[in-house]
Structure 1
Amino acid sequence: MKPVTDFSSLDLKKRYTYADYLTWEFSERVELIKGWIHKMSPAPKRWHQKAETVLSSKFYSHFENHSCEVYHSPFDVRLVKNKGQKDQEIDTVVQPDICLVCDPSKLDDAGCKGAPDLIIEILSESTSKKDYNEKFNLYQENGVKEYWLVQPELFYIEIYALENDIYERFGLFEKRNSPDLVSGKLFPDLKVSMAEVFAR
């Protein structure tokens, strides 16, 4: 297929596939959710970057000698119905802020093909609705075992764990009234410091 170098030449009322996505060479960052293009926000605010950096480094240190691998955006995650799906059959490509992949067979040079075990999205004013609705449902449908939503402006971490294919809220941790060290259900030994994540 011919490369697409201008975002404005795309038809936003049309559904696309990962095969199309691979031809896009414009500077704008986008995600593909069930075939529909979602333009990503410009560079996030400093507190978003700070939280992402702290969490990425904490996860990386914890899993350094482990089979699980940590990646942060931009990193393509193709959510597929089965591993045999071809590029032209895949209609969802997302770039989570942070993801943890424990099955090495899901990793290739293009990123991750299949659901990561854990995903973290750092919320901002422009993305919180999508992260709480579309992505919440998307990650639940595709079997992401744990989903963290981190709100650096309001100082909280909300964690959902997959139970019988449905997300149940494991905890809402607020800096002002929670223990400093918090952890999720999937990896209880991984402790995250609220003071570090939300340092000002």
Structure 2
Amino acid sequence: MAIVTHLSQLDLNGRYSYADYLTWRLDETIELFRGKVSLISPAPSLDHQRIATRLTGILYAQFKRQACQLFAAPFDVRLYDRRKSVVANQDIFTVVQPDLCVICDTEKLDQRGCLGAPDWIIEILSKGNSKKEIQTKFELYRESGVKEYWIVYPFEQAVHQFVLDEEQDLYRLLNMFAGEDSASPYLFPDCTIDLQEVFAD
């Protein structure tokens, strides 16, 4: 398979697998959503980076002595429908780079990142990718079995907390935290996040 070094070599209307993705040596950062190429915004906003850094610090302190592990973007997560079995790289069509994710099953980790659904994903919205995070990734995370998904709204200083109802196969909105609240993940109730600190100017 030929090495791809320029985005122009790809058919942006085509469908690609993780096997294809492994042959790409692009300057651009991309994700795959059900085989479709999706460009990541080249430079997140100052607010996005500030929030990501603060959350990383808080969560690193929380998980550094636990079995569950924290990872921050760029970090490849290969997703597949949890009701299907994984056969090979050519059978995986979704590769995402969540802003933050926590993975408790170390069997999912390899040198290329994570194969399968993290337990908890946090995405911090930017003006250019809100639809992608709210709609496309929401569905991808649900069908792959991400148990808890937080969407962070920097401009509104708010966090929406979704928890997977596996029996009904849907996300339930558990909490809508405001900037002055303390927030705790459903999966890790001993972890407390001061959102005033996260959203401080």
Q: Same fold (TM over 0.5)?
A: yes
**Cα pair 1:31 1:38 within 8 Å, conserved:** yes
2:160 aligned residue: 158
d(CA) in 2 for partners of 1:193, 1:151:
15
Q: Per the alignment, in what secondary structure is the counterpart of residue 160 of structure 1?
A: strand
Alignment of 1:147 with 2:149, yes or no, is yes
**Cα pair 1:83 1:114 within 8 Å, conserved:** no
1:122 aligned residue: 124
Amino acid of the structure 2 residue aligned with 1:23: T
Equivalent of 1:90 in 89, 92, 95: 92
d(CA) in 2 for partners of 1:13, 1:143:
27
TM-superposition CA deviations, 1:50-86 (whole Å, max 9, x none): 1101111111110111110100110000002456421
1:72 aligned residue: 72
**Cα pair 1:69 1:102 within 8 Å, conserved:** yes
d(CA) in 2 for partners of 1:6, 1:129:
26
Gap regions ≥5 residues in structure 2: none
d(CA) in 1 for partners of 2:79, 2:26:
23
2:171 aligned residue: 167
Identity of aligned residues (%): 47
d(CA) in 2 for partners of 1:156, 1:108:
33
Amino acid of the structure 1 residue aligned with 2:42: P
Q: Per the alignment, in what secondary structure is the counterpart of residue 133 of structure 1?
A: helix
Aligned-pair CA distance for 1:195: 1.1
Q: Per the alignment, in what secondary structure is the counterpart of residue 149 of structure 2?
A: strand
Q: Cα RMSD (Å) of the superposition?
A: 1.1
Aligned-pair CA distance for 1:153: 1.3
Q: Per the alignment, in what secondary structure is the counterpart of residue 20 of structure 2?
A: helix
Q: Per the alignment, in what secondary structure is the counterpart of residue 114 of structure 2?
A: strand
d(CA) in 2 for partners of 1:184, 1:63:
13
1:197 aligned residue: 198
TM-superposition CA deviations, 1:127-155 (whole Å, max 9, x none): 11111101011101111000000111110
**Cα pair 2:48 2:125 within 8 Å, conserved:** yes
**Cα pair 2:16 2:93 within 8 Å, conserved:** yes
Q: Per the alignment, in what secondary structure is the counterpart of residue 101 of structure 2?
A: strand
Amino acid of the structure 2 residue aligned with 1:190: C
d(CA) in 2 for partners of 1:140, 1:122:
17
1:11 aligned residue: 11
Q: Which moved more, 1:53-62 or 1:97-106?
A: 53-62
Amino acid of the structure 1 residue aligned with 2:131: K
Q: Per the alignment, in what secondary structure is the counterpart of residue 48 of structure 1?
A: helix
Within 5 A, what are the aligned runs for 1:6-85? 6-81=6-81, 84-85=86-87
**Alpha-carbon spacing, 1:62–1:100, altered in 2? closer, same or farther (3 Å):** same
- Size of the aligned set, in residue pairs, is 197
**Alpha-carbon spacing, 1:99–1:83, altered in 2? closer, same or farther (3 Å):** farther
d(CA) in 1 for partners of 2:27, 2:5:
8
**Cα pair 2:86 2:92 within 8 Å, conserved:** no
d(CA) in 2 for partners of 1:84, 1:169:
29
TM-superposition CA deviations, 1:21-43 (whole Å, max 9, x none): 01110100100011101011111
